[in-house]
Amino acid sequence: MSSYYFTEEHELFRQGLRDFLAQEVIPHVDSWEEAGKIPKELWRKFGDMGYLGLNYPEAYGGIDADFFFSVVFLEEISRCFSGGFTITPSVQQYMASPYIFKHGSDFLKEKYLTRAISGELICSIAISEPGAGSDAANIQTRAERQGDHYLVNGAKTFITNGYYGDFLITVVKTNPEAGTSGVSLLVIDRESAGVSARKLKKLGWHASDTAELNFDDVKVPIENLIGEEGMGFYYLMGGLQLERLAGAISAVAGCEHALEYSLQYMSERHAFGRPINKFQVLRHRVAQMAAEIESTKALVYHCSRIHNDGGYAVKESSMAKLLATELANKVMTECLQFFGGYGYMEEYKIARMFRDSRIGTIGGGTSEIMREIIAKMVIDDKSYGNADVARPQASNGRSAKTEKAAPAKTTPPMTPMLDHLLPTITARAAKAKVLGSTLKFDFGGQQLVLDGSGESNVVHTQDSSADCTVDITLEDFNALIRGELNPMTAMMSGKMKINGDMGVAMKLQAILG
Amino acid sequence: MIDVYAREPEPELFRESLRDFLAQEILPHIDAWETAGEIPRWVWRKFGEMGYFGLNFPEAYGGQDLDFWYQVIFIEELSRCNSAGFAAAMIAHPILALTHINASGSDFLKEKYLISGINGELFGALAITEPGAGSDVANLQTKAVKQGDYYQIDGSKTFITNGVLSDFIVTAVKTENQMGAGGISLIVVDRGTPGLSAQKLHKLGWHASDTGLIAFDEVRVPAEQLIGQAGMGFYYIMQRFALERLVMAISGVAAAEDALEYTLQYMAERQAFGRPINKFQVLRHRMAQLAAEISRAKVFNYTLAQAYNDGAYQVKECAMAKLLATQLSDKVMTECLQAFGGYGYMEDYKIARMFRDSRIGTIGGGSSEIMCEIIAKAVMG
């Protein structure tokens, strides 16, 4: 399976990284676990090696590698016998800094992103609060605009890198009346006046610092706002994708590592005159786990490839996160059992693997949240658009009641620009089956033509005749693209009128997603 | 339910046409065949005419020589016909019986069986399992003793799909008594050969398919009916087992996916306590979990199908896929039937049949326990 995803370059990179971790990390993890802290110099070394900028352009000091280098990175850092260690660079590179890269100003990129890539600064993403986690629309931390700064008040909790880290990408409410459209992202320096933190004691992940943070009249310059005010929720929805995928990659790698570690032990440990790996009941248990790990890995790589190609696989990534973290709990429980009494002792690493795994089905959205997302997509045929491509306009008006993880319907309805929709349509048309004919969306004045009469589907906006013409408003079309309007419903309710070859129209679903 | 990534469009066109064909020509008859316990011969002829038995076979014998994705689609669509017994019959002929003749048979055998097997004039069965040995192929007891130009076969085979009605039986026999695995050969036995008799077995599910107990009593078969070399049968069988398991994995997932879609449809319509039952969170989460597990199994199967198509050897992986897919299918059927409540237990809805048809998955083609043995050997030595 690996041969479908990894090239020789990836494997060389893996080898180099593995050597680096064997030297710089593995010999020290026990003491870091004990101390509850990882020395900051380590991240400079990671930065020097380029490990914190795999996903970022060279302009910011990154490597600009394809996503499978990141897959290798996440897999290898998950094999260091310390989930607390693993999570720090994962958060840094895949869960926090992407928001600055994707939506931040040049100023923020200069000031924070380059220094996160170099390992000089450690960052965290502060979403959860004592009263709200995945329910991000209901967060309470308030940021009030006052001249050239925001005044932030509130509290965050369960924040990885939140105690020893340098800056926090903080989810705040800039407009408490606006629901999801009132959420924004602010970069807050950990040392700002008014920020206080308490280190939380945890079941596992001992090497990592997890904090409860308080913001008491914290002044944050307005240039520390990421992207647009009111867009925070959509940025999060786009970003959580990668966070979940990273979590799934890490969990599967952790399973593989635990199984290898257990197999080693089972070949050495004797009982009743033979190594315990000869007992059939244990062998079958291993076989079952090996099969589940292998198949979960196939799903995770599948999602990684979609991500690498710029796709947006909400359903698949949620499935991968759900299954991979559930599997990790199962694998750790069963593997610990193979060690008998030794499994309960700290002299073997399986005890730590066991407790470190337990957060997987909770962090980054619980298994229950994953199932909510999947159920909406599978049962209610809901689709989630990518905020990065077809983004709704921020609105200061009150938002309608919205689904938790979905782009909000904003009031008053916005008028999207056709230009903004083009990349999405073009991408979808390229992936869809060749139409075999031409299709025109007529927005009354503007139009979009899908010419599938040749070898591929070509998208353009010049007016021309077509085998089939669809009359629709740009607003409704945008809703179609974002999955908020079902094509069948649109047709039946008259929002979409079809003239000409109905056969072409039947293929709409493939393009509209 | 899950979009296959980066697939060519042509096979999907094939899927559409196959689906139309099945909807028109097959689905209306399924219930009758389930009751009758057999599939009429015209169906084989029709499949042959449509070219469905020759997807992966050379053009020289009337096949289409297409890539493996067409076979995947064939298996998937057959597995969505509300009768796994029907699917098993139609899959066993080309993928189990003909595959051996194509892969290792002489020109004579190919002329005789491959051509008429592909065009649907004849259909076959593969007979390995015996009353006393299944996956333990080295311990088969059916003997074939060479006497001049003939082999004389004595013994019995059981659980053989198409075992009663098929025209020919690719049979695993022991040609060298002492040699264990090295003494196994494959030989084609024609229906109607004196001394050959078959008895139809009653089964928990798979009602449309005929599963036979076959007895060989001094059955004389010409030596040219031997597939490949004498003593190589074990090797031929082992080589094809990986394919058989992948086929069962694909079929298991397709059936599970079909059942889930069927159930979601029902759940959208069925009301309880004033709302459709698909609004109850506990059912939603159960279905979400199943959907996720189906997607995982499907992506895994497709990864292996791609590798198979590229010529990779993957015994361990196919055993894993078969193990997981058939276990999952049982789980999905059990949970889906539950969503139908009392109706699930009635034959008015197809879920009852899906449930009983699924149960053979973890047994046939090597039980889950055999799969675990194979995987454990590969992983642990």
Cβ pair A284:B373 closer than 8 A:
yes
Cis peptide upstream of residue B9 (ω within 30 degrees of 0): no
- In angstroms, the separation between the Cα of residue B305 and the nearest Cα of chain A is 11
- Residue of A419, A402, A418 whose CA lies nearest to A410: A402
Torsion sign, CA atoms B313, B315, B320, B325: positive
Q: Which residues of chain B make contact with A375, given a CB cutoff of 8 A?
A: 284-285, 287-288
Angle at the Cα of A296 from the Cα atoms of A295 and A299, rounded to 5 degrees: 95
DSSP assignment of A282-311 = HHHHHHHHHHHHHHHHHHHHHHHHHHHTT-
Mean pLDDT score, A473-488: 75
In angstroms, the CA A152 to CA A218 distance is: 5
Q: How far is CA B117 from CA A98, A279, B43, B169, B280, in A?
A: 59, 46, 13, 12, 50
Residue at token pair 């065009």: B119
ipTM score here?
A: 0.88
Q: Please give the interface size between A and B, counted as residue pairs whose CB atoms are below 8 Å apart.
A: 117
Instruction: Say whether residue B296 is in contact with chain A using an 8 A CB cutoff.
Output: yes
Interface with chain A: mutation pick from B303, B315, B324, B336, highest number of A CBs within 10 Å: B303
- Three-state DSSP at B60 gives helix
Kindly state whether B8 is in contact with chain A, defined as any CB-CB distance less than 8 angstroms. no
A510: chain B residues, CB-CB within 8 Å: none
Residues B295 and A248: their CA atoms lie apart, in Å, by 15
Measured between beta carbons, which residues in chain B are less than 8 angstroms from residue A299?
Answer: 295-296, 299-300
Q: What are phi and psi of A345, to 5 degrees?
A: -95, 155
Considering only residues B381 and A493, tell me which one the structure prediction assigns the higher pLDDT.
B381
Taking a C-beta distance cutoff of 8 angstroms, is the pair B47, B119 a contact?
no
Q: Rounded to a whole number, what is the distance in Å from the CA of A57 to chain B's nearest CA?
A: 27
Q: Which residue of A has its CA nearest to B291?
A: A378
For residue B261, the model assigns a pLDDT of 96
Least confident piece of the model among A104-108, A352-356, A404-408, B8-12: A404-408
Cβ B139 vs Cβ B132: under 8 Å = yes
Bigger pLDDT: A304 or A461?
A: A304
Average pLDDT, chain A: 88
Maximum Cα–Cα distance across chain A: 85
For residue B244, indicate whether it is catalytic: yes
Q: Which of residues 309-328 of B touch A (CB under 8 A)?
A: 317, 319-321, 323-324
Check residue B236 and give its pLDDT.
92
In which residue ranges of chain B is pLDDT below 50?
A: 1-6
State whether A287 and B369 contact (CB < 8 Å): no
| A427 CB within 8 Å of a chain B CB | no
Q: How many CA atoms lie within 13 A of B20 on its CB side?
A: 6
User: Which of A315, A368, A378 is closest, CB to CB, to B287?
Assistant: A378
CA distance A183 to chain B (A): 28
Structure letter (DSSP) for residue B229: S
pLDDT number for residue B209: 95
Separation of alpha carbons B323 and B245, rounded Å: 9
Number of other residues whose CB lies within 10 A of the CB of residue A35: 12
User: Do the Cβ atoms of A286 and B380 come within 8 Å?
Assistant: yes
Tell whether the model's pLDDT for residue A513 goes beyond 90: no
- B380: chain A residues, CB-CB within 8 Å: 263, 266-267, 277, 283, 286
Say how far apart CA B126 and CA B101 lie, in whole Å: 11
Chain centroid offset of residue A174 CA: 24
Q: To 10 degrees, what angle do helices A350-357 and A83-90 make?
A: 50
Of B278, B292, B303, the CB nearest to A374: B292
Answer whether B9 sits within 8 Å of A433, measured CB to CB.
yes
Of residues A494 and A98, the one with the higher pLDDT is A98
Average pLDDT over residues A103-122: 97
Q: Is A290 on the interface with B (CB under 8 A)?
A: yes
- Nearest chain A CA: its distance from B225 CA (Å): 39
Lowest mean pLDDT among A72-86, A256-270, B137-151: B137-151
The one-letter amino acid at B121: E
Least CB–CB distance from B5: residue in A263, A284, A302: A302
pLDDT at A408: 34
Q: Is the pLDDT of residue A65 over 80?
A: yes
